[in-house]
Structure 1
Amino acid sequence: MPDADSLARYNAKRDFAKTAEPAGKVAKTGGNRFLVQKHDATRLHWDFRLEVDGVLKSWAVTRGPSLDPDEKRLAVRTEDHPLSYADFEGTIPKGEYGGGTVMLWDTGSWEPVPGKSAKDLEKGHLHFVLHGERMNGEWLLIRLKPRGKEKAENWLLRKINDAYAGATDELVETGLTSVTTGRTMQEIAEGAKPKRVQGRKRPALNRHPREGGDPLANRSAAGAETPPSMDSRLRGNDKGEIGARSRKDSKAPAFQSPQLATLVDTVPTGNQWLHEIKYDGYRALIATGSGGPKIYTRSGLDWTEKFPGIAEAAATLPPGALIDGEIVAMQDGKPDFSTLQEAISAGGEGLLCFAFDLLAETGEDLTALPQIERKERLRALLDGADDRIRFSEHIIGQGEKLFESMCREGFEGVVSKRADVTYRGTRSKAWLKIKCTHRQEFVILGWTASTARGRGFKSLLLGLNGPDGLVYAGKVGTGFNTETLLSMRERLDKLAADKPAAKVPRPEARGAHWVKPELVAEIAFAEFTAEKVVRHASFLGLREDKPADAVVAEEPADLPEATPSTIKISSRDRVIFPESKLTKGDLADYYAAVAPIALPWLAERPISLVRCPQGRAKQCFFQKHDAGSFGEQVHHVDIREKDGSTQPYLYVSDVDGMLACVQMGSIEFHGWGSRVADVEKPDRLVFDLDPDEGLDFEVVKKAAEHLKEQLAEIGLTSWPMLSGGKGVHVVVPLVPQAEWPAAKSFCERFARALAQAEPERFTANLKKANRVGRIFIDYLRNQRGATAVLPYVARARANAPVATPVTWTELRGIDSAHAFTIKDAATLLERAASRALRGWGTADQTLPDL
């Protein structure tokens, strides 16, 4: 039993006749719960709590937990709390200790890393692992030495660099809803009813907290004067239905043949390639639907029952998805095929699936989209998902470094994929695999007996399919344990045959026992000899997802030749940006370089072009319709106009389309907020903050932060983008569900509510006369047919600035909206692959039902 006095301080600070907090009572020991409560008291903070000895050891983390291993967050030790506090969410009355709103922000379990224990807290150093809805992986708590007469016990909370590491403020900027009730802080303060939270990790829909002085902020303590919340102001100015937050149900998509990679010897170079870890496991396609998930092998076998844990995790994902990935078992921090075999034999629990492609979403076929865009949509789908299905991260360019690192750390190798290709469902050189060691499948032809007692066999005889049937390919006698030898022998005996299925050299055939060629083994080996037999072979496991007649020698192919664009850029030396002497060729080279990171936002979206054939300082004009002059690389989609006519709107699908527009004098690409697949349903909103002449950029940044906070109040996460001009765009991604009238109504009411609350700061009026000294919140971007500049697009302005995605943390330190130019292509590519921008502009969210 814990010491009852450990809760004396907790009880002494509270009047339980006034607060709904639970009284401090001693509980039984032995649990390992952890939780985090977001607490809007005198100062907003996050209360981090670990169950130890029957109480909750507690720290107040002033800026919230950070996923960045280089970021150390101050954690002030507070009084122990009772275990019953782990379920508390609500308001503490004004004037009481800790008065304010409390949200249950995260919950789960914890344990010390091996060799450590909770007693290490007494030493001032705890290394532990969290399994939460938001916080996961390894963390450290370190006690600081006291300074002077400090009464508070100060600690540091830090993330260890592992698979769960991320951006500095990723958690606090995207996690503003309760993991148990789905409510925002504002809704908790107002006593709103809990929302239904699905049986999956709730997507992180909100973000960074306000930082004081906000006239619209609800201080949330009972009895305090609270200005009307954003959602109440929107309701009070209602102009129509916003749309439900639930999605349409979808049946599970049918199996599709998976895309296969071609074996090569070296990693391809160039920014058109993205590179992933090659996982050592079973390829699987996961289909989700109302009838429950299905897990298919690469050949289409239904293996759902073999992977119950993965199926359970997939059941929490939205229906209508078809996910491509690799199911693995981890051993010593790496995927291990032998461990996978053992896990499947033991019931299929404890496995992970690394998902690397998305073929369908809510029933929509995505195979025609570029590879990089499919991955970004997959990332959004898996945001907050059950941890047994994980997003497979990638890098763009620098594949050689990844390959060297993977080989050094004992991984199988890497897979390299063209960033702009569609999903073809066959083997091609658009997907390449580069292995650290030789390994492939072989057909088992027979076995030789062992002289050792109790050993099932000495070695296996191997074969491969050739043009004229099976041919002998060597033998393997290592890599087996006793259990494998015995279980394999049972299977071999059931397949006994009178003669070999292939011609085997006489010395090898002497004393051999033959089997029907039905079993397939995965073998690692040093090389093939001149006689085409393996040397130094080691058995890894049986492959039951591949038929024996499909097993052939896997010879490395030549790397595909670099595929230069079919678009020839004429007049490359024509100066387009006279201030910096940048040319049409420079602009084309920029777009070719950044295509992998620009296409997820630009491809398959109706666009308007800013064309400046003689340069940005000469006559420029918008073009949105296809006049047939761009060539076959630039497509069109027929869209109905208000007058009932149909017009061909431009769109592109790949880098050739982008460059064809540049060849025709285009500098800027502005996109609709919807895709050509369904132009009536936006997948993002954009609030363009356009400052009056003379307003400092610092004013714009603070305004953007304010919009972010108000959007968070109603449950919407957002990201900032430097416009490349004067202002900042606040981007709100959406699941394409609500139609344009609802989106426009929401955005207009939101902008007008802000302008009404702070008329000296904002205006929602388009007239220039109304902007004097103020910032125009341009909500008109969010209506059918309107466009906004797209990420990574160059602007027709002095020195060729670029519209650039940034994080909220970064924005605070940036001096202008045109901080990056087309000269910074390499920097932009590096930034896009960084931890800080992971998941920028993606979220599984819909318009709030207001």
Structure 2
Amino acid sequence: MNEGRLATYRRMRDFERTTEPRGDGTTGTGDRFVVQRHRARRRHYDLRLEFDGALLSWAVPKGPTLDPSVRRMAVQVEDHPLEYADFEGTIPAGEYGGGDVVVWDRGTWTPGEDDTAAALEAGTLHFELHGEKLRGRFVLVRRGEKQWLLLHKRDEHAEDGWDPEQHPRSVKSGRTNEEVAADPEAMWRADLPADQAEVRLRPSWEPPSDSELSELEGLKSKGTWDLQGHRISLTNLDKVLFPGRDDEEPITKRELIAYHARIAPVMLPYLAGRALNSHRFPNGVDSPGFWHKQAPSHAPEWLSTWEYPGADADDVQRYIVPDSPAALAWLANYAALELHPWTSPTSDVEHPSWALFDIDPGEQTSFDEVLTLARLHRAAMDHLGVVAKPKVTGQRGIQIWVPIEPRYSYAETRAWVEKVSRAVGNTVPELVSWAWTKTERRGLARLDYTQNVLNKTLVAPYSARPRPGAPVSVPLEWDELDDPDLTPDRWTIRTVLDRVATTGDPFADLLNHSQRLPPV
């Protein structure tokens, strides 16, 4: 790293406060570029070109454009360290550049002159960008000591009227500045070496690679699968676990294992750090299943488990705590079709972080009536100012999940949910029964607040259900309750990945949105 070129950058920052990288000797590729959308005192875009061991940097207030008729002002700022090319997060208020940053575009760049240093000195730099948003030939022309103009040439990539503000999301995470500000995923520790400086604030996971999925597909009826550094012994891969529906082929254990591994990055945030109760069907869903809680003695050493300190001598002592795609794949091989996490984390087991509403339809309850009850919950949450979202169960019902601060006991959480449930139920008494047993409910729905108890659970988001076709419990946005095509078992393990790829995970916004329960 050219220490002299970063002196100004370091002098302007207090690395005891800012999470920005200090710049400690990272070796680059020599041809990277990045544009970061930065909301500081004023919103702007930072264009950075890797050159001579650092990032040449310009602040572009209105952002780069593909429109060749537009000239953008670009103010040259201090060179930045190479580590900054991947920085996405927040800079503390009061620090230089305080605000939120996303990696708006990135790729490689090609200089138009043989001698880049001489071109910079002369005040005209031609270059070509090969990014995800920005492509084609650009030029920077100096118009003052630090003021430059940034233009896009009229080439095959030019696009009249192209506005960067219509493309606000990060190419690194898919998130907006607002989402990063509300929930930064990582921070930089300036007191650590650069290759260790990025500290994850919450875990994230990668899906299996194409080669790993091909290896699974190529196994015979049993074999060993290497998934992300873990060896999983798989058996009876071609055993049918779910019959098909609507003339589809039946679903084998192999397909469930692949689904668990692929959905893991989206599903694990609801399982990691929580004890698991699983519903197992070793002979498929056409045969009776059974609940399993105890971590088996034959579980691999890499599988995370937790010993419940409050367990009585005759209770389950040790639980599985899924924390990797390999753990979910192992559970699928174990024929754990339904996954039910505790609503409190193992780190604070007496205080739930979710309050749950369960709309449990009776034998005579239509799905239209379930939707009526769900919409009444929507109105109740709106009235109370509570952030929550619904989830179809994959069977017949709908649940409402409410993220809460882990400050309430289970008794307090259950009492709050009961008050809201009774207020909702009292508006449509013809649809709801409060009787405990199904035989006493006369076919009516029950608003089951009793799930808010230690070690009593509801099915996890994106878990399969034991029905033909392997339907999945899927989180929704509130307005999806008004979709005429919505059914509680609309998505299966064969279709829900396409939905996630298109719409994302509606519950993701809830994961770090803890809130207090308002009076009812």
What TM-score do you get using the length of structure 2 for normalisation?
0.61
Q: 2:62 aligns with which of 321, 332, 346?
A: 332
Q: Does 1:607 align with 2:269?
A: no
TM-superposition CA deviations, 1:728-764 (whole Å, max 9, x none): 1111122333232221221123223444554322233
CA distance in 1, matches of 2:266, 2:430: 38
With over 3 angstroms needed to count, the CA separation of the structure-2 counterparts of 1:819 and 1:829, relative to structure 1, is: same
CA distance in 2, matches of 1:575, 1:265: 53
Asked whether the equivalents of residues 609 and 624 of structure 1 are also in contact (C-alpha less than 8 Å), the reply is: yes
Residue 385 of structure 2 aligns with which residue? Answer: 715
Q: What is the CA distance between 1:819 and its match in structure 2?
A: 0.6
SS at 1:670's partner residue?
strand
With over 3 angstroms needed to count, the CA separation of the structure-2 counterparts of 1:332 and 1:595, relative to structure 1, is: same
With over 3 angstroms needed to count, the CA separation of the structure-2 counterparts of 1:757 and 1:724, relative to structure 1, is: same
SS at 1:610's partner residue?
strand
Residue 635 of structure 1 aligns with which residue? Answer: 304
Matches within 5 A, 1:838-849: 839=509, 843-849=513-519
Q: 2:473 aligns with which of 788, 803, 806?
A: 803
> What amino acid sits opposite 2:234 in the alignment?
I
Q: What is the CA distance between 1:842 and its match in structure 2?
A: 6.2
Matches within 5 A, 1:827-846: 827-833=498-504, 839=509, 843-846=513-516
> What amino acid sits opposite 2:439 in the alignment?
A
Q: 1:819 aligns with which of 490, 494, 498?
A: 490
Residue 703 of structure 1 aligns with which residue? Answer: 373
SS at 1:688's partner residue?
strand
With over 3 angstroms needed to count, the CA separation of the structure-2 counterparts of 1:331 and 1:257, relative to structure 1, is: closer
Larger displacement relative to structure 2 (759-768 or 256-265):
256-265
Asked whether the equivalents of residues 279 and 328 of structure 1 are also in contact (C-alpha less than 8 Å), the reply is: no
Asked whether the equivalents of residues 351 and 409 of structure 2 are also in contact (C-alpha less than 8 Å), the reply is: yes
TM-superposition CA deviations, 1:650-696 (whole Å, max 9, x none): 21111011011111111111111122332222222221111111321
SS at 1:622's partner residue?
strand
CA distance in 1, matches of 2:281, 2:30: 45
Asked whether the equivalents of residues 364 and 444 of structure 2 are also in contact (C-alpha less than 8 Å), the reply is: no
SS at 2:329's partner residue?
helix
Residue 453 of structure 2 aligns with which residue? Answer: 783
Q: What is the CA distance between 1:258 and its match in structure 2?
A: 9.3
Q: Does 1:483 align with 2:145?
A: yes
Residue 680 of structure 1 aligns with which residue? Answer: 350
Q: What is the CA distance between 1:584 and its match in structure 2?
A: 0.3
Matches within 5 A, 1:243-262: none
Residue 341 of structure 1 aligns with which residue? Answer: 77
Q: 1:647 aligns with which of 317, 320, 324?
A: 317
CA distance in 2, matches of 1:797, 1:687: 23
With over 3 angstroms needed to count, the CA separation of the structure-2 counterparts of 1:391 and 1:828, relative to structure 1, is: farther
Which is higher, the Rg of structure 1 or of structure 2?
1
> What amino acid sits opposite 2:491 in the alignment?
F
With over 3 angstroms needed to count, the CA separation of the structure-2 counterparts of 1:810 and 1:561, relative to structure 1, is: closer
Q: 1:592 aligns with which of 261, 283, 287?
A: 261
With over 3 angstroms needed to count, the CA separation of the structure-2 counterparts of 1:614 and 1:767, relative to structure 1, is: same
CA distance in 2, matches of 1:264, 1:653: 34
Residue 337 of structure 2 aligns with which residue? Answer: 667
CA distance in 1, matches of 2:299, 2:23: 32
Residue 128 of structure 2 aligns with which residue? Answer: none
TM-superposition CA deviations, 1:51-73 (whole Å, max 9, x none): xxxxxxxxxxxxxxxxxxxxxxx
CA distance in 2, matches of 1:793, 1:259: 43
TM-superposition CA deviations, 1:130-189 (whole Å, max 9, x none): xxxxxxxxxxxxxxxxxxxxxxxxxxxxxxxxxxxxxxxxxxxxxxxxxxxxxxxxxxxx
Asked whether the equivalents of residues 37 and 102 of structure 2 are also in contact (C-alpha less than 8 Å), the reply is: no
Asked whether the equivalents of residues 391 and 398 of structure 2 are also in contact (C-alpha less than 8 Å), the reply is: yes
Higher helix share: 2
Q: What is the CA distance between 1:788 and its match in structure 2?
A: 0.8
Q: What is the CA distance between 1:633 and its match in structure 2?
A: 3.9
Q: What is the CA distance between 1:826 and its match in structure 2?
A: 3.5
> What amino acid sits opposite 1:686 in the alignment?
L
In structure 2, list runs of 5 or more residues that go unmatched. Answer: 1-15, 44-56, 66-71, 81-85, 92-97, 124-139, 148-188, 196-208, 213-225
> What amino acid sits opposite 1:828 in the alignment?
R
With over 3 angstroms needed to count, the CA separation of the structure-2 counterparts of 1:712 and 1:550, relative to structure 1, is: closer
CA distance in 2, matches of 1:740, 1:584: 36
> What amino acid sits opposite 1:571 in the alignment?
N
SS at 1:640's partner residue?
coil
With over 3 angstroms needed to count, the CA separation of the structure-2 counterparts of 1:262 and 1:808, relative to structure 1, is: farther
With over 3 angstroms needed to count, the CA separation of the structure-2 counterparts of 1:308 and 1:656, relative to structure 1, is: same
Asked whether the equivalents of residues 61 and 74 of structure 2 are also in contact (C-alpha less than 8 Å), the reply is: no
Q: What is the CA distance between 1:625 and its match in structure 2?
A: 2.3
Q: What is the CA distance between 1:615 and its match in structure 2?
A: 1.0
Q: What is the CA distance between 1:309 and its match in structure 2?
A: 7.3
SS at 1:748's partner residue?
helix
Asked whether the equivalents of residues 671 and 787 of structure 1 are also in contact (C-alpha less than 8 Å), the reply is: yes
Q: What is the CA distance between 1:575 and its match in structure 2?
A: 0.5
Q: Does 1:574 align with 2:219?
A: no
Q: What is the CA distance between 1:605 and its match in structure 2?
A: 1.9
CA distance in 1, matches of 2:301, 2:21: 29
With over 3 angstroms needed to count, the CA separation of the structure-2 counterparts of 1:738 and 1:329, relative to structure 1, is: farther
Asked whether the equivalents of residues 58 and 74 of structure 2 are also in contact (C-alpha less than 8 Å), the reply is: no
Matches within 5 A, 1:237-386: 278-280=34-36, 329-334=59-64, 339=75, 341=77, 356=88
CA distance in 1, matches of 2:353, 2:295: 23
CA distance in 2, matches of 1:330, 1:837: 35
Q: Does 1:745 align with 2:415?
A: yes
SS at 1:777's partner residue?
strand
With over 3 angstroms needed to count, the CA separation of the structure-2 counterparts of 1:561 and 1:732, relative to structure 1, is: closer
> What amino acid sits opposite 1:829 in the alignment?
V
CA distance in 1, matches of 2:360, 2:101: 36
CA distance in 2, matches of 1:636, 1:826: 28
- How many residue pairs match? The answer is 377
Q: Does 1:436 align with 2:108?
A: yes
With over 3 angstroms needed to count, the CA separation of the structure-2 counterparts of 1:696 and 1:808, relative to structure 1, is: same
Structure 1 stretches of 4+ with a deviation exceeding 6 A read: 252-266, 307-310
Residue 398 of structure 2 aligns with which residue? Answer: 728
Asked whether the equivalents of residues 690 and 777 of structure 1 are also in contact (C-alpha less than 8 Å), the reply is: yes
CA distance in 1, matches of 2:380, 2:336: 36
CA distance in 1, matches of 2:390, 2:75: 44
SS at 1:608's partner residue?
strand
Residue 444 of structure 2 aligns with which residue? Answer: 774
> What amino acid sits opposite 1:708 in the alignment?
R
CA distance in 2, matches of 1:259, 1:749: 55
CA distance in 2, matches of 1:342, 1:258: 13
With over 3 angstroms needed to count, the CA separation of the structure-2 counterparts of 1:253 and 1:437, relative to structure 1, is: closer
SS at 2:446's partner residue?
strand
SS at 2:436's partner residue?
coil
CA distance in 2, matches of 1:676, 1:621: 24
Asked whether the equivalents of residues 61 and 73 of structure 2 are also in contact (C-alpha less than 8 Å), the reply is: no
CA distance in 2, matches of 1:798, 1:572: 18
